[in-house]
Amino acid sequence: MNVVRRHPTAVALALTAVVLAAAVPLAAYVIVPQLVRSTLVEDLPTAAPSVAPADSAATLAPTALSSETLLQGELVRISVADFGSGSVRVIRVGAERFLRFENVEIAGAPDTYVYLSDRSDGKPGTYVDLGKLKATNGSFNYAIAPDVDLAAVRSVVVWCRRFNVTVTYAELRSG
């Protein structure tokens, strides 16, 4: 009690530091993710438009090709702060390949990216970067370059670069 009377400013600063030390992680893992949530619903990709001859009056229309599932998996919950649910599929439409997230719900986190990984434990390992996560909820697609060797891909990883942590992942199996 004597210390509080002698140094009230120092005690107040120490208490403020303790409160801030507890508040920063709380804000980073509970409040911020709620602010970075978004929803996107994209259609299943279709084949590239067929090209009509220059003298034809025909319009460009997508080719009616069906999609083929090459690989598939389910997103997993890692912890209270890092989770995902829903399915992911690697599909082929015509000659093109896509990674499709279907009816997903993914924990909000800043600076998140989608990787095709050679590991099945949720770590990026050797990966192909497909770009920023388009949304935390919904159904959406990523084009996969023709030179990507799908035989080496074991999982899809949603990675938070800012905190260097896996948000969720899905181990892939044959479709």
Q: Is residue 96 part of a domain?
A: yes
Q: Is residue 57 part of a domain?
A: no
45-83 pLDDT per residue, tens = 886 655 555 554 555 555 556 889 999 999 999 998 899
Q: Is residue 86 part of a domain?
A: yes
Judgement on whether residues 21 and 70 belong to the same structural domain of the protein = no
Q: Say if CB 93 and CB 47 are below 8 A apart.
A: yes
Judgement on whether residues 161 and 104 belong to the same structural domain of the protein = yes
Please state the domain count of the chain.
2
CATH code of the domain covering residue 125: 2.60.40
Judgement on whether residues 16 and 92 belong to the same structural domain of the protein = no
Per-residue pLDDT at 35 exceeds 90: no
Q: Which domain holds residue 157?
A: 39-44+65-174
| Longest alpha-carbon distance in the chain | 95
